[in-house]
Structure 1
Amino acid sequence: MSTTNTDVLVVGAGPTGLLLAGDLATAGIDVTLVERRPHGLGNMTRAFGVHARTLEQLDARGLADELLATGTTLTTARLFGRLDLDLTRLPTRFNHLLVTPQYEVERLLERRAVDAGVTFRYGTELRGLRQDAEGVTAELTDPEGTPLTLRARYLVGTDGHRSSVRTALGLPFPGHSVIRSIVLADVRLAEEPADVFSVNGSGDTFAFLAPFGDGWYRVMGWTRTRQVADSEPVDLDEIREIARKALGTDYGMHDPRWISRFHSDERQAPAYRVGRAFLAGDAAHVHSPAGGQGMNTGLQDAANLSWKLTAALRGTAPDPEALLDSYQSERHPVGAMVLRSSGAIVRLAMAHTPLTRATRSLAAHLVNAIPPASARAMGMLSGIDIAYAPAPGTGRPSGRRAPDARLREGRLYELLRQGEFVLIAPGGPAPALPSTAPVTAKHLIRATWTDPAKRTAVLVRPDGYVHWTSN
């Protein structure tokens, strides 16, 4: 049995694992990524929407503009036929939703990871793991079924809702199925719909339609009258019938390139960290596809964890264990929030009693009529308003998302492409950093406000959140 060594072993080459591995390798960390699927196997997945905060994260990696060219941008999200969210009001240069297939996201992230030097092992499956004070030993099998051992200082499971890493750690995955027998398809339409990214339905049936921008549309549907197992066949006629009931027309759907039936669970692991092993993405949380937050939440997990692992491995964190623990304290509440919000959307879409329909109508009216409520809904759906509790000793302004400020050296998110902390300050000598800052001068980018009247200093983390603000 052969043994190899690496700093970080990432298990699972979906979007979450690819972004994480690329971040680490860009920072000079030795990374091995294993994936049980053969390389090049098509991955027709359910994810298709990239929200504003994720586009900001991709911008900080130099990928957002290229990804935008692969799909179409939507400026309005309509729910239940009456609740309209005007995404152009989001305080970001990405004030829209990008509709593009998940494989386009994976393509760009894989290219970045390859360029950064990540070692890929496709067709390789995790069979077990054990930990000690110095690292993790993973038992794997290669494409020929030959056992091999890989020793890593840290391991991250990004291997989906049936995570072998989560199973090997003995972690439960509590939750339940929120909706059964959802049908999905990518189709062409004879008629262009007036409303896109719209969830409509009667309570007994609902459907969702969104364009990819290349002539293909994603359609998702559900009906209370056909609740069958995932293994039951689904054809275009079934999807057309659901669309006609929910949307009033099937828009002449034809030539499906992919059709699937699935059920949607709401589950979350109680711990995202066990010793030197971590969970991210669907390995840590799964939820309703309503709102299109699944892939986005996983990518945000990766952005949060990568710089913390980097600081721990570089030895720049004053308290590396506390820093790594903050991954759980910051991201677990976000996963729980996404479960609640996506679950609320799908339950309101399924509303069929007079009381639940009245509740849906009232909720839609309030969000439409009260600008702060609308802004809050858009901010949470897009990820723009997600913030973390301030780190100890940093003061209340920390923990929030850092806007893409124009600086003398360029845009903030362009500077973040170097994968380091950015200290924004007035001109002159650099201010003293707090003792809690997990960064040294070697890994710090200095930037200057364009407005000479600004006297505040701000330390921005590599994931684009504020670590510290001076008085």
Structure 2
Amino acid sequence: MSDQQQTEVIVVGAGPTGLLLAGDLAEAGVAVLVLEKRGAEISNLSRAFAVHARTLEVLDARGLTDDLSALGGNRLSELFLFGSAKIDLSGLDTRFPCVLMTPQYNVERVLRERAAAAGAEFRFGHRVTGIDQADGRVTVRTDRGDFTAPYVVGTDGVHSGVREAVGIPFPGEAVLRSMMLADAELDAPPEHSPSVGSANGAFCFVAEFGDGTWRVIAWNAADQQDDDAPVTTGEIRTALKLAFGTDFGMREPRWSSRFHSDERQAPTYRSGNVFLAGDAAHCHSPAGGMGMNTGLQDAANLSWKLAAVLRGADPALLDTFEAERHPVGAAVLRTSGRIIRAAANKSKVFKAVRGVVLGAALRLDPVMHKVTGEISGIDVHYGHGPGGHRLVGRRAEDVDLAGGSRLYEALRGGRFVVLDSAEPTGAVDAASAEPDGLTRVVRPDGYIGWAGEDDPAAVRAYLEAHAGRL
């Protein structure tokens, strides 16, 4: 190893976002190095627990959904909110009309195994101390040596060293302080999972992982402490009793922590050849369980673009990462913010009508469709651009293909898929779907990149600009 190791992409941070990104790049034949300040052991202390429908599709396009499910979890088609209000996910137009409740460390395990098997290199115990950019290359300085690559992606969380090193601000505010997390068994669990309780100046969320363990998120306005203050079992039980009227017979937690819930978003996701994704680019409350999901979808959007540009695609393709994902991050901040503020509202009048009003609204099909589409990520779209077909930028539904396979199986390996095309184009798959007179080019992240009447020249031009060498 030289004093300054050379590679093609450096990913800083081995959480879910960085691991999916690294795995995608490695599978595409890109030399990728992952730097992580923690040790090699995957921590069992994690905040995230919900894997939504769109993320399950993202994992399906990588052959990982079954592997993740095998590690345990609880698939829920209904999410109960305040009072009788509930979100019904069963109507989502997807193979996964549900949310999978499973600890973040399970997600990290399947993603790390995949990345390592594909050839990604890992360096643990490396803390970023600075970043330099010159002549189209980026040097990452760490406390254990320097590393250089054409591109660097910071996926190193809310306190991102990459973001700080390149001087990208992280404006926002702390919405709630002294929130408590715990995983514990409940001797008298609630009827529904998840359940949300909010009363007497406290609110709590409890959800079952499927193995008898429940994730508890608790907040008590009357008991506000610094983040580094130890969490006691008594504090959590008190918050549960205030919010639900019972502590559900909560046993001693296997672990607990305290944190404050911020709403922040970087104004730009890029500085030169350095990109930000996941919590390094945006953070928000745990309400709705959308944080990890948004980061994983950031990675799915960026990975194929980096690989394509390194294969010779138009470098302007990388500009579309921020253009497509920044609005999504902003929307998630708004959605999660509305939920957490509704839960923490202290008005007795508001609390009295909240569940009734929300329940009535959710019984309206258009409202339910909008809410489930937002929370699940199924309705995320990127816009078709000037002169583009109305389908461009839309999520591609998983369809059956000739020969018995599915679209999302054909996407595996980071491939573009041309639907309704007469013949394959190099390394790009061509397969027949429903003959509706349209040709569609599906990007590796499962979104439609080009659509129109059969036009081989136009398809070729699109692929040359977006796929690189075929």
Shorter-chain TM-score above 0.5 = yes
235, 238, 253: which one pairs with 1:238? 235
The question of 1:329 aligning with 2:323 is answered yes
User: Are 2:395 and 1:419 aligned?
Assistant: no
TM-score, normalised to structure 2, is 0.93
Stretch deviating more after TM superposition (264-273 or 183-192): 183-192
Structure 2 CA distance for partners of 1:392 and 1:140, relative to 1, 3 Å? farther
- Counterpart residue number, 1:313: 310
Q: How do 1:247-286 residues align onto structure 2 when only pairs under 5 Å count?
A: 247-286=244-283
Q: 2:379 matched to which residue of 1?
A: 385
- 1: CA distance, partners of 2:246 / 2:351: 22
SS at match of 2:176: strand
Measured at CA, do residues 132 and 363 of structure 1 come closer, stay the same or move farther in structure 2, by a change above 3 Å? farther
CA distance in 2, matches of 1:216, 1:390: 44
Task: Tell me how far apart the structure 1 counterparts of residues 41 and 340 of structure 2 sit (CA, whole Å).
Answer: 33
Q: Distance in 1 between matches of 2:226 and 2:39?
A: 28
Residue 338 of structure 2: aligned partner: 344
- Aligned ranges for residues 76-225 of structure 1 at < 5 Å? 76-142=78-144, 148-202=145-199, 204-225=201-222
**1:465 paired residue among 447, 454, 463:** 447
Query: Partner letter of residue 334 of structure 2?
Result: R
Distance between the aligned counterparts of 1:66 and 1:367, measured in 2? 37
Name the residue aligned to 2:284: 287
Does the 8 Å contact 2:84/2:356 carry over to 1? no
What is the distance in 2 between the residues matched to 1:203 and 1:406?
A: 52
Contact 2:200/2:242 (<8 A) preserved? no
The answer on whether the counterparts of 1:366 and 1:373 sit within 8 Å (CA) in structure 2 is no
C-alpha deviations, 1:329-384, integer Å up to 9, x for none?
Answer: 10000001111100100000012225644773575045323111111100100000
Counterpart of 1:442 in structure 2 is: 426
- 4+ aligned runs moved over 6 Å, structure 1: none
Question: What is the letter of the counterpart of residue 153 of structure 1?
Answer: P
| Aligned counterparts of 1:51 and 1:370: Cα–Cα separation in 2 | 22
AA in 1 matched with 2:194:
F
**CA positional deviation for 1:455:** 2.1
Tell me which amino acid in the other structure corresponds to 1:79: L
The residue type paired with residue 368 of structure 1 is L
- Which TM-score applies when normalising by structure 1? 0.92
The total of aligned residue pairs comes to 450
State the distance in 1 between where 2:200 and 2:248 align: 21
Does structure 1 retain, via aligned residues, the 8 Å contact 2:76–2:98?
Answer: yes
Supply the distance in 2 between the matched residues of 1:443 and 1:8 (Cα, whole angstroms): 22
Does 2:25 correspond to 1:28?
no
Tell me, which stretches of 5 or more residues in structure 1 are unaligned? 143-147, 431-440
Task: Say what the alpha-carbon RMSD is for the aligned residues.
Answer: 1.6
Over residues 170-223 of structure 1, what are the superposed CA-to-partner deviations in whole Å (9 max), with x where a residue is unaligned? 011100000111111100111232111122212611111101111111011111
| Structure 2: distance between partners of 1:82 and 1:229 | 34
Task: Find the residue that maps to 2:426 and give its secondary structure.
Answer: helix
| Aligned amino acid, residue 458 of structure 1 | R
Cα distance in 2 for residues equivalent to 1:283 and 1:429 = 42
Q: What is the CA–CA distance in structure 1 between the aligned matches of 2:191 and 2:352, rounded to whole Å?
A: 26
The DSSP-based 3-state class of the residue aligned with 1:255 is coil
User: Partner amino acid for 1:17?
Assistant: G
Q: CA deviation at 1:392?
A: 4.8
Whether the aligned pair in 1 keeps the contact of 2:199 and 2:244 (CA below 8 Å) is: no
